[in-house]
Structure 1
Amino acid sequence: MRKRRTAVVAVTAGLATISLGLSFTSAAGAAPEVAVANPGGLKLIKTKTSLLGKHYWYQQTFKGLPVIDGYYAKHVTKDGVVEVADGRDAVPANLDVSAKVQPAAATQSANAAVIARAARIAAPNKTIAPVPTATQGAAKLAVVGGPNARLVWAVTSHSSEGVSRSLVDADTGSVVESKVISDNVDGRGSVFDPNPVVSQKNEKLTDMNDKNQDALFVAQKNVVLRNLDGSGFLNGSYVNIKEGNGGLAQNKNNTFVYQRANNKFEQVMVYYHVNQAQEYIHQLGFTEANNESQDFSVDTIRDDNSFYDPETDMITMGDGGVDDAEDAEVIWHEYGHAIQDDIVPGFGESLQAGSIGEGFGDYWAVTMSVPVSKGFNLPCVMDWDATSYTSTEPHCLRRTDTGKTTDDIVGEVHDDGEIWSNALWDIHQALGRTKANKVILESTFFYDPDTSFAAAAQDTVQAARLLYGKAAAQQVTDAFKARKIL
């Protein structure tokens, strides 16, 4: 609609004197003008530092009022390259910013909209939706830009859904928009972490057709479900359980405790383990590696298979054999595909790129298991899921320590992926978990959709050199040479 990214431009001045030389449609809708380090009508609200640069975030304003969702961001790398994300809206210069509607009336209209929405999603046996409340001063004047520019009251309300923001036209009193904006409600759940074979160190466990078992009950772990949106469903900042066999898990108190025979148990598994993965990615310093609420369809196919669909950005978990979502390593593997597709749109266009995708997924499952596995069978991927289709112990779908090299390429992405996962696992062993994962994720941003083993390896070596120096780059190079990739 209005959002626009500008081209990257090189600068030679320091941060304090950068001149971007970019044009944009001004907030007042006038002719294009030149943007400088602090364009007019912008308020610096946040400065962030990432691994390779600084990021400046501005709030667009009009006559001193914030413009809803209007932003301007400047990303400056350590070597002086600037990228600008221009998310400003055009606002007519003659827009009147004096309100006809009083804040109390706007608050009443906003709360009525929240009540109506809460009533629509209330449980069937509930006839009264909880009344939302708005604290004094929660109604603030703001501007909506674009073709329907107007002055609004932005009203913040609290209800059983969490925190809502409603925009009320300051001239007519009509509600323009009302939506839930909270994303940090904590809930409670019960999960396997990462799966019962690992947590119980027991290779003899079997599925028994999804029955509850004492041996599996003791493998369940009570956990906090962070970043829920407060809707009473398993939806949050990083996960959206969109479909589920038997219906979606729902609890008004955000308590989701089930035994494994209940299909909703797998929904909790997905929510918890994907949230854990994205929080870890943030801890590493990455804020744009699938930083979204990833859609999942859980237990909705009878096959013993799960997959990521880049066309719909949906991960589907199957329930053949051991329900796939009972094994966190299956969840993490599929989430690995979503991470790479988000970073590199259309990733996996060549055979070797597809193999890299499968290898990364296996590696991601293993590295995510490190904090909770206590070293048990770490290179073994999907220990619990594999009990349904393997007879030898340990039960593994694949491994990240097979010793395969490019001499073993067979032209099948899962098999050839073991070459790549072995290289990544060797990097993990050489650099340690944190450094290795920073290098591996950073290098992914430089992949081509149809990259080769060799090209991706070179990107990884370069990321290691820039982040940690020549010694680290040599260790990464050695890992790829051992697999005959370089």
Structure 2
Amino acid sequence: MKLQINSLLVGCLLSCTALSGQQSSLENPARNWITQNSRSIGLQDFSTLKLSYVRKGNSGETLRFQQMISNVPVFQSEIVMHFNKNGQISYTATESFKKNVQQINTDPAVSSIDALKKAHVASHSKGEITYEESKLFVYVTEQGETKLVYRVLTNSYENPGSWETIVDAKTGEIISVKDISFRHKEKETPEKNKKKTQVKKNVLVTGSAYIFNPDPLSKMQVAYGGQYVDGNDATNASLDAARTLVTIPELELTAGVYKLKGTYAEIKELEAPNKGLFTQTSNQFLFNRNQDGFEAANAYWHIDNNLRYINLTLGIPCIPSMNNGVLAFDPHGENGADNSHYDPNSQILVFGEGGVDDAEDADVVLHELGHGIHDWLTNGNLSQVNGLSEGCGDYWAQSYSRSLNQWQPTDAAYQWMFSWDGHNPFWAGRITDYTAIYPGGLSGSIHTDGQIWASALMRIYDAIGKQKTDRAFLEGLSLTTSNTNQQNAAIAVRQAAIDMLGTFGFTCNDITQITAEFTAAGYTLPAYSCQLSVDDLSKKEIIAIYPNPVSEILHISMKISKEEKVEIFNMEGRKVLETTIANGRNTVNVSQLAVGDYILRIKGLELSTKFIKK
């Protein structure tokens, strides 16, 4: 076995897990609650809790406390606490906390380097090593034994997947080896392979591309068949006409060469086969589907567009913690297999090209991105209990596709997931009008069971609209743990919506609709009586701005009782202007801004709107 270490390796951490220092003014009240509830939580006197992560979001502030034994973290064991905007505890999660962990000696007898070597052999690493990491944990086995282990994560170019090897840190014994990547369907056997290429970097400019939005069948409102088939990647007049010409907000330009890279996403060669990076001397990425560059441009635009929506339109910070916050993706990986995956090790997306090339279907691209979003919002504590993350990915993809209003509710395809990649001779795809009821309808297959969760969320989407459902979904997801099931996720999503009452358009009627649809899906939610306070009602003020587009002076129309800070961000998320407004002084001079789209945010009131500078 010949292994090469990639010089661009994102991170090789051969050390004990170190938790970055986090601070919150709410830590003391959180610890008081934990102390008061220590008996029911199952706290042991030999373990401690370390504040490992703090997230401030639209619905409040979330604190995560990692269980530690002698300064070594207990694997996937934490307590999550959420405070609403009034500083009150509105949600707690303790289901992942390991009550049964035993006190053990935490001095390893095996080095992390030796554990890494053993893991490469056990996981069949092949070719260039693209990621590796070895961290020390206290680990509770499936048999209930407490062991000191290294959790070793490895990726290699010619062996697709995200490999986790658990190595006993006392004996060197391999406890388990598994691929922990998240795929949009059951894993299949890979096919082809090749070698690898190199990279560059510098200025960001705009460009254009042809894409499928979200796929050719939905765009043209036709069924799979006739000219609308994969045909081994062949194109034709009908499939060419199904493309959409879009503007790419950001491309990297270096010495006259354009690359699919920007603030939010970047193409990389991550797995075989080697199809290259599709750099070119033009900013026009105008491919047809017979050209491999089409999948690259299609995936790049959808990933970039979606992350801009989350971070800029919704104002919810959500980016990878690795690669400087830029999501790396490979439009041609998986050794050519008909599958795709999100890799939690290195936080990347890889798309296969068996059957219909996966990166041609926005449903596949956004489903896999949905796993990443789930991972980042929970600080790496994504749950697959009851297929939760599969359902999250399905919802996230369908939320976008349905927003394009291409199918009618009476059309079968209105509820289809993977409309181009699936529902054809290659595989059956999935749906979001799945009728099984939780928990009796669980089958044990994560991809099948995730449809219960996705279907419930899409019914809420149809009832209260896309942005409110998306916002409650993302904020609620950030409250979950690595052991959260569908029912507890439903409680978390509704609680996030409750915590946003009076802001972002949330009303008591929305809470009623959310409760009704989750209850219909079989989830049992705590009783809740919704009443908007006077303060909540005052937050329902909507910003009106004019003129829009604007060249010089932007007028802001809204009722304010005191001076408020105004921030303006460009579409890269960078703050470009800050000023204040007050009664009788409600204009902003934007004459110095470059032509383009901007987000105006009233800081402290959680209100934002978009405008165009001409």
Give the TM-score taking structure 1 as reference length: 0.62
Give the aligned residue type for 2:221.
K
Aligned CA distance change for structure 1 residues 429 and 289 (closer, same or farther; 3 Å):
farther
Which of 266, 269, 282 is residue 240 of structure 1 equivalent to? 266
1:173-209 CA-to-partner distances (Å, cap 9, x unmatched) read xxxxxx96654x2111111111111111111221111
Q: Identify if the C-alpha distance between structure 1 residues 10 and 408 changes in structure 2 by more than 3 Å, giving closer, same or farther.
A: closer
Matched residue SS, 1:315: strand
User: In structure 2, the residue corresponding to 1:186 is in which secondary structure?
Assistant: strand
SS at match of 1:430: helix
Match of residue 462, structure 2, among 423, 429, 436: 429
Deviation string 1:388-428 (CA, Å, 9 cap, x unpaired) is 4368xxxx610111222122101110000011001111111
Structure 2 regions of 5+ residues with no counterpart?
A: 1-17, 29-55, 62-82, 89-199, 501-505, 525-614
1:314-349 Cα offsets, whole Å, 9 max, x none, are: 211000011011111110111100111111133345
The answer on 1:280 being equivalent to 2:323 is: no
Alignment RMSD = 2.8
Q: Which residue of 1 aligns with 2:215?
A: 195
- The residue aligned with 1:9 is 25
List aligned pairs for 1:93-108, cutoff 5 A. none
In structure 2, what is the Cα distance between the partners aligned to 1:413 and 1:11?
35
User: Given residue 194 of structure 1, which amino acid in structure 2 is its aligned partner?
Assistant: P
Partner of 1:401: 433
| Structure in which a larger fraction of residues adopt helix | 1
- Give how far 1:473 is off: 2.1
CA distance in 2, matches of 1:476, 1:348: 23
Q: Within 2, Cα distance between the matches of 1:221 and 1:5? A: 46
Q: State the Cα distance separating 1:220 from its structure 2 match.
A: 1.3
CA contact (8 A) 2:352 2:358 kept: yes
Any conservation in 2 of the 1:462–1:473 contact (CA below 8 Å)? Answer: no
The equivalent position to 1:479 in structure 2, one of 490, 494, 517, is: 517
Instruction: Report if the CA contact (8 A) 1:250-1:256 is conserved.
Output: no
> 1:429 & 1:254 partners in 2: Cα distance?
38
The residue aligned with 1:223 is 246
* Matched residue count: 325
Q: Any idea what the Cα deviations from partners look like across 1:39-96, whole Å, max 9, x if unmatched?
A: xxxxxxxxxx963479xxxxxxxxxxxxxxxxxxxxx973259xxxxxxxxxxxxxxx
Aligned to 1:206, what secondary structure does the other structure show? coil
2:485 is aligned with 1:456:
no
Distance between the aligned counterparts of 1:452 and 1:405, measured in 2?
14
Matches of 2:290 and 2:384, distance apart in 1: 40
Aligned counterpart for 1:385 among listed residues 417, 421, 434: 421
What is the one-letter code of the residue matched to 2:265? V
**Match of 2:253, as an amino acid?**
G
Shift of 1:478: 1.3
* Structure 1 residues 259 and 286, CA gap change in structure 2 (3 angstroms): same
Change (3 A) 1:371 1:430: closer
**What TM-score comes out, normalization by structure 2 length?**
0.50
2: CA distance between counterparts of 1:234 and 1:331? 16
CA deviation digits over 1:136-167, x for unaligned, max 9?
A: xxxxxxxxxxxxxxxxxxxxxxxxxxxxxxxx
Q: 1:228 to 1:287 in 2, by over 3 A?
A: farther
- Give the letter for the 1:239 counterpart: A
In structure 2, distance between residues paired with 1:258 and 1:268: 8
Check whether the contact 2:310–2:318 (CA below 8 A) recurs between aligned residues: no
Query: Any unmatched runs of 5+ in structure 1?
Result: 13-48, 55-75, 82-178
Q: CA deviation at 1:367?
A: 0.8
Amino acid corresponding to residue 428 of structure 1 in structure 2: Y
| Alpha-carbon distance between aligned partners in 2 of 1:429 and 1:345, rounded to the nearest angstrom | 30
| AA partner of residue 236 (structure 1) | G
Per the alignment, residue 58 of structure 2 pairs with: 51
2:366 counterpart of 1:332: yes
* Paired residue type of 2:248: L
1:206 to 221, 229, 232: 229
Cα pair 1:330 1:382 within 8 Å, conserved:
yes
Q: Which has the higher contact order (CA 8 A, sep 6+)?
A: 2
Q: How far off is 1:448 after superposition?
A: 0.8
Contact 1:294 1:314 in 2 (8 A): yes
Write the mapping of 1:91-170 to structure 2, written as runs, cut at 5 A: none
1:274-296 per-residue CA deviation (whole Å, 9 max, x = no partner) reads 11111211201212354832111
Q: Distance between the aligned counterparts of 2:395 and 2:245, measured in 1?
A: 26
- CA drift of 1:230 comes to 2.6
